[in-house]
Amino acid sequence: MPELPEAETIVRDLRRHVTERTVTGLRVIHADILAPNLSPDDLAHALVGRRIEEIARRAKNIVFRFEGGPILVVNLGMTGRLVVSTAPRASELRHVAVRFDLDGGDALLYDDVRRFGRFDLYSPEQWKEREAEFGVEPLSDAFTAERLQELTSRSRSPIRNWLLDQRRIAGIGNIYANEALFRARVHPARPANTLTKQEAARLRDALRDVLREAIEVRGTTLRDYRDASGEAGGFEPLLKIYGREGEPCPVCGTPIERLVLGNRSAFFCPRCQK
């Protein structure tokens, strides 16, 4: 997915549309997106008749807190969408996996072509435990240059791979990892523990800048991502490096190159990124 900015956009949209609403019915069309220990009946029993009290984001997850305690955590995988049924674009959904009927007559739809997404149900205690496994939120005050330097110093992984591990920094995916490394002028294959203090500081700032800018324009749509109204995000034209193999580097004009790290593409300028 949907990385941090896209999940954040959806959370903000859903807060307006479905907070304080009660789930009056629930239909699971594709049960394979449910966690292995979770049946459609379990989900319905836990949530039907309950009011959504709060919607939040943690890493790339969308967290629904229901009255009385149950917490539904939705990870959108690569192609998951959460769209309100009254949006004009809702009729374009072709792969609805779960439908939440809401008081008032409309519904919240979960659509997912590839079905890599996942629904998990937790008690507050269980979620507290699970949540602790995620790393620092990059937009929080806790994410300082010193913290990043300290974290990177303990790994020899290529920095692009390192950034994708949700247990270290939460919410970074392949697009924003590549964009931030370009802005920080750090080569994606650099072992994490070789970053200098200055490079770590630049990377910290670059991550925060790119995530904030992407949230500002409601995320990046390459193919599948949509907000809660079914609309595309606006950051794709603002990508400087991701998906731009062969195009001139926007800084120096050198053709952008692609390499594969850990089975995923990394894009970089061979001249700007050391």
Partner DNA sequence: AACGCGCCCTGTCCGC
Partner DNA sequence: TGCGGACAGGGCGCGT
- Residues noted as catalytic: 2-3, 60, 264
Please provide residue 144's backbone torsions phi and psi, each rounded to the nearest 5 degrees: -100, 165
- Distance CA(100)–CA(108), nearest Å, equals 5
Contact 166, 135 (CB under 8 A): yes
- Burial bucket for residue 94 (CB in 10 Å: 0-12, 13-18, 19+): exposed
Q: Which residues of 118-139 are buried (b: 16+ CB within 10 A; e: fewer)?
A: bbbbbeeeebeeebeebbbbbb
The tokens of 56 are what?
Answer: 């939040």
Which residues of this chain interact with DNA, rule CB under 7 A?
Answer: 1-3, 6, 32, 59-61, 75, 77-78, 94-95, 113-116, 154-158, 161, 164, 166, 173-175, 192, 220-225, 260, 262-265
Which CB atom, from 23 or from 64, has the smaller least distance to DNA?
A: 64
Which CB atom, from 75 or from 273, has the smaller least distance to DNA?
A: 75
Which CB atom, from 61 or from 149, has the smaller least distance to DNA?
A: 61
Q: Which of 140, 125, 129, 113 is nearest to 57 (CA)?
A: 140
Q: Which of 256, 253, 254, 250 is nearest to 237 (CA)?
A: 250
**CA distances in angstroms from 139 to 6, 77, 121, 144, 149, listed in the order given:** 14, 21, 26, 10, 16
Q: How far is the CB of 232 from DNA (least distance, A)?
A: 8
Which CB atom, from 102 or from 233, has the smaller least distance to DNA?
A: 233
